Amino acid sequence: MAEPAVAEPIATLAGEAISTEVSFRGERSGTAPLTWGQRAIWHAIRRTAPNDHYFNIGRVLPLADRGRPATVAATLDALARLVERHEALRTRLVPAAADGGPSQWLADTGSLPVTIAPATGLPEAAAEAETLLDGLSGTRFDYPAEWPLRAALVTVGDRVTHAVLVLCHLAADGHAAEVLVRDLRLLVRRGSAGRPPATTPLDLARGQHAEAGRRRGAAALAHWEAGFRAAPPTMFPEPCAEPRSPRFWTGRIVSSALARAVAAVAAAHRVSGSTVLLTASAALVAAGEGHRTAAVMPIVGNRDAEALRDLVSTLSQDGLFVLDLAAAERNTEDRDGDRYGDRDGEEKGNEAARFTDLLPAAHRAALRAYRAAVYDPVEWDALGERLRAEYGREVRPYCCFNDMRLVERPVPEGPRPTARVLAEELAEARRRTAFGFPATQDRVACRYCLHITEEGDALAVSLTADTAYLPPEAIRAHLYAMEELIVTSAAGSPPPITDLRALLESAEGDRP
């Protein structure tokens, strides 16, 4: 391994950030087509440009919290080892040639620019790390000319307190970003991150473009075609308002009540929390637009295979989740029962179908979507063009769902509270729910993009939408309606499916 090339003298630049470089030397070089995950994100980047910095992935690694102190030299050495370990970090885009699409080029040697910023103390260092994260994330990558990693270190005295990483989405997805943070921590603390990944992006790309990979992709696209034919051409067919400027607004709700309610509904109906949220999103969109069938494109991680667990690459692709709301209404006698207890002697066969009646079918539909989320985006585009010619209009849901949590918190063991007690506790928790519009953008390649993350013991749900189709007040209503829908279901009173449109209209109430 080459020694890091460090600009000198660092110690004489107190109070000023400097730029240095760290040299790396990998084991091989080469070229390959883009993986299907890379092709998918490249299509999204091109549709979003010049605002494609939206896709940059940033992480801050604290290094002063525990373990031995990290020196600048040791941390730069760890960065070099990180780039050598993960080929994606030394791979650049090769623009499309006349006879084909873009490809990727893996370099064996090179140097990575690194910013080093001093701070006077730990609180100031944490603030400086966030400032660097915002700055490094805020500009688009030069894909053919720039390494897909931007790095910075924050120091207090002669010790590194924080490492800041910003990744190009062509090189990594959210899971891969966590792999890099883990490996950098191990390299700094122990000098080793263990065995190297079992495969590489170049090898994956070559396998996907081989005959066996293409057969798998064709089977996935058969699922897409069947789903497209079963659903409306798009979930948002007509604008309903003059677009705002900027056109795309992000609403965000942070709710500990929603987190607890999702866990309760998931446990009661033996599905994942992600399925509960996906079903609620799909049902509310369909109800709001008057559809009997919902189509949503969940972002699928595609890391089921053991060899892909620690691979740094962008493996995520869209899946197609199709849910027939009318089927639940036609088959209420087959529902799996009200797991919170009977509702005062009503005959279940005569009840209106309720939100929780959707969950068994939604679970199966989600699994089908996840299995059919590995395919060639070029062939996906060809399918869309064929359907466009047949339908005389574009066929695309324009409705996306991205659960960005790497794991779901387990439900606490022990007896569950009664529906009445849980309802009281959730009502109290809802008093702490917070909502805001934290961001706007000029261009996003979708009309409805829901993102799920965690904030402490709360779920943070963000909805970025095209204000021509979902004005700001509708964005707000969708998020509060999702909380209301899942909380009331957890408390034992899931709303009838036929009431979901009214729920969207009334969910805001007197909420702040």
What is the model's pLDDT at position 420?
A: 84
C-alpha separations of 169 from 92, 132, 149, 409, 474 in Å? 12, 18, 10, 26, 30
What is the model's pLDDT at position 68?
A: 78
Distance CA 356, CA 447 (A): 26
Cβ(311)–Cβ(176) under 8 Å? yes
pLDDT tens, residue by residue, 320-346 = 999 999 888 776 655 444 444 444 444
What is the model's pLDDT at position 332?
A: 63
C-alpha count within 13 angstroms, C-beta hemisphere, residue 354: 20
* Residue segments in the chain with a per-residue pLDDT below the cut of 70: 1-15, 98-99, 331-350, 410-414, 508-512
Distance CA 369, CA 346 (A): 35
Cβ(58)–Cβ(164) under 8 Å? yes
Distance CA 466, CA 447 (A): 5
Per the structure block, which two tokens stand in for 128?
A: 């400086």
- The residues near 255 (Cβ < 8 Å, ≥ 6 apart) are 429, 430, 432, 433, 434, 458, 459, 461, 483
DSSP conformation class of 293: E
Distance CA 37, CA 169 (A): 10
Per the structure block, which two tokens stand in for 510?
A: 């007197």
Overall pTM surpassing 0.85 (yes/no): yes
What is the model's pLDDT at position 347?
A: 45
- The residues near 56 (Cβ < 8 Å, ≥ 6 apart) are 136, 137, 140, 141, 166, 167, 168, 169
DSSP conformation class of 77: H
DSSP conformation class of 354: B
pLDDT tens, residue by residue, 210-257 = 999 999 999 999 999 999 999 999 999 999 999 999 999 999 999 999
